[in-house]
Structure 1
Amino acid sequence: MSRRGTLRRVGLLVLGVNLVLAVLKGAVWWTTGSLAVQSEAVNSAADTAYSLVVVAGLYLTTRPPDFEHPHGHERIEPFVSLFVAAGIFVAGGAVLWNAGTALLSGDVAVTRGPTAAAVLVLSGTVKYGLYRYVRRVGRERNSPALIATAVDNRNDILTAGAALVGVAGASLGFPLADPLAAMVVAVGILYTGVEVVRDNVAYLVGAAPPAELRREILRRALDHPQVEGAHDVIAHYVGPEIDVSLHIEVEGDLTLQEAHDIETAVIERIRDLPEVDDVFVHVDPKEIGEWKDDDEVERLADLE
């Protein structure tokens, strides 16, 4: 299946799962009066709302290129991820506020009863499966929005686990276990929100990709038998994809056709990397002395 079809399918799956869980938790809360399940129902309802935005965002980012966006619309995707991060911060802040308020007031309400515990276990199990699946597809398809969604699903596992800790604590005579566990989880949730923002800001500001990928780009250029050197190798994120530009040195007595063929071969080899969107290669005759020391190229070469 194409990247567009895969991302849209996964987005709809996440939306459907969150909707079902919100309805199920709401029904259990209605019948049991459990405050822990009520908070989980609200959390799932919020997840459903942001999932609608993610589905809309994935629809926009996976549209084919057009006249106004000749490189496609993938650059919208980091903004979708930042929206997910905002939802993560809200969820973490709400959990921290509720837990702190309960501790300070001493009014600690915990979940009791097998039905409430069962829905929390079911929620955690479903979210774990969804987290693993969405993270795998997000990495395979290089989708920041899906990776951010996977992180949010991981947070939902933690919140369900915190509620279960509260149930166990109450059963053992330690009702404060619920808000204490929730505060630890809230800190973890807020930290993952920082991770999502950090990763996606890098996409938006044109940060360089990892050194391993830059080294592979350089290796593919130098592997051509007629390329004798390279300099000004620049790779940077443009949205979730990477644009590459570099100069290669070749023999100066080559014909224009031969130089063009070398350039094309180097471009195609680098563009075969799934992370790379576009490649710009400038061909320099080595005899004219345009070659210059390039510390970045030397550093990457030394890492091999």
Structure 2
Amino acid sequence: MDSDSSGSDDHTVGFDAGRRVSKIAFITLFALGVAEVAIGLISNSVVLIADGIDSFGDSAIILIVLLGLFFATKQNNNSKGSNGSGNDANQPWLGYYKIESFAAFVAAIGMVGMGIVIIVRAVEALINPIEIVHPEIALITLAFAAGISGYRAVQMNRIAGRYKLLSLKAGARNAIKDSMASVIGFFSILVAVYLGFPQADPIGAIIIAAFIFSISYYILKDSSLVLLDIISNPQMVEQVKTLIERSHGVKVSSISLRPMGPFLYADINVVLDGSMTVAEFKRLANSIKKSVRKRFPSIQRLTVIIEQS
């Protein structure tokens, strides 16, 4: 058997970067939530209150993400002293991607609950419309919130894409949704106040809730696949098998793929005759790993196992 894995240093750097941007995002979102809810209550704007609740929920979600990244980084650092032999049992950091994925899963559930609260409040306002006061202050607040959330989304998405962090990707998606929600809130108040259609305010709040539910669905789906060890592309097994057999002229009896955080890990069983030397097998195994990684960069760890023909 020949196995390897990438080192944990790159993953530690990614977790650390994710923690830094998450800390800033948490503080910013919580402050925005306080301001939006307070001004929403003063101005009687349901959509501004909804956007404030959205910001509070987002800050809680970021806190969950931050905790997941904290524990992943801690355990990753603790495992650096272990003398890895290529075996998952000797690479504890591999399992801590599960913590990061679980953080994304819990975050999405929080988003669903937040959306339900917003819809209930919006329906009440549709039935009994309330006049918005001090609309200029409400509009300035929403414009500021949209700009801050948009900038935060760019930061988080860049780091999530670079280090393939699922929970931070969830946070980035949430930031995009948050910015769009603030923009919708801005125009909802414009229509409600200056075009004389007060129902636009709660309607905007309902649209914000719809955004929340749609983003939650995708996050729940992605994180659930990781937690259940299910790959999102089941055809990949056959694709890897075909690549190895055509490129290296060996028979592949079985391939096991499993997700671990944003990456995949593969156990590849190849059928060889007994005449191959150890040195020849190592060269073949290295060649297989190189070609598989080139075609499928998401596969970070490969184990090639011999079966006698």
TM-score by length of 2: 0.78
Structure 1 distance, partners of 2:207, 2:32, is 24
Aligned equivalent of 2:167: 145
Instruction: In structure 2, give the amino acid aligned to 1:45.
Output: F
Aligned equivalent of 2:260: 238
Residue number among 41, 47, 52 corresponding to 2:58 in the alignment? 47
- Superposed, 1:130-279 pairs within 5 Å as 130-170=152-192, 171-210=194-233, 214=237, 217-218=240-241, 221-222=244-245, 225=248, 227-250=249-272, 252-267=274-289, 270=292, 275-279=298-302
Write out per-residue CA displacement over residues 10-58 of structure 1, whole angstroms, 9 at most, x where no aligned residue: 2123223213423543665587565544443343233333323321221
Q: Residue 222 of structure 1: CA displacement?
A: 4.7
Aligned equivalent of 2:19: 8
**SS of equivalent to 2:276:** coil
> Which stretch shifts more, 117-126 or 150-159?
150-159
> Which stretch shifts more, 48-57 or 137-146?
48-57
**SS of equivalent to 2:107:** helix
Structure 2 distance, partners of 1:79, 1:147, is 13
1:117 matched to 2:128: no
Q: Residue 269 of structure 1: CA displacement?
A: 5.5
Structure 2 distance, partners of 1:223, 1:71, is 34
Structure 1 distance, partners of 2:246, 2:52, is 56
Aligned equivalent of 1:71: 92
Extract unaligned runs of 5+ from structure 2.
1-9, 83-88
Aligned equivalent of 2:103: 80
Residue number among 85, 88, 91 corresponding to 2:114 in the alignment? 91
Aligned equivalent of 1:102: 125
Instruction: In structure 1, give the amino acid aligned to 2:26.
Output: L
Q: Which structure dedicates a bigger proportion of its chain to helix?
A: 2
Write out per-residue CA displacement over residues 122-177 of structure 1, whole angstroms, 9 at most, x where no aligned residue: 11122122223322321321111111112221232233233223212221011111
Structure 2 distance, partners of 1:269, 1:99, is 55
Write out per-residue CA displacement over residues 43-79 of structure 1, whole angstroms, 9 at most, x where no aligned residue: 3233333323321221111231537883312211111
RMSD over aligned Cα atoms: 3.0
Q: CA 1:10 to 1:197, structure 2 compared with 1: closer, same or farther past 3 Å?
A: same
In percent, how many aligned pairs have the same letter?
A: 18
Question: What is the aligned length?
Answer: 284
Structure 2 distance, partners of 1:221, 1:4, is 33
**SS of equivalent to 1:278:** strand
- Superposed, 1:12-27 pairs within 5 Å as 12-25=23-36
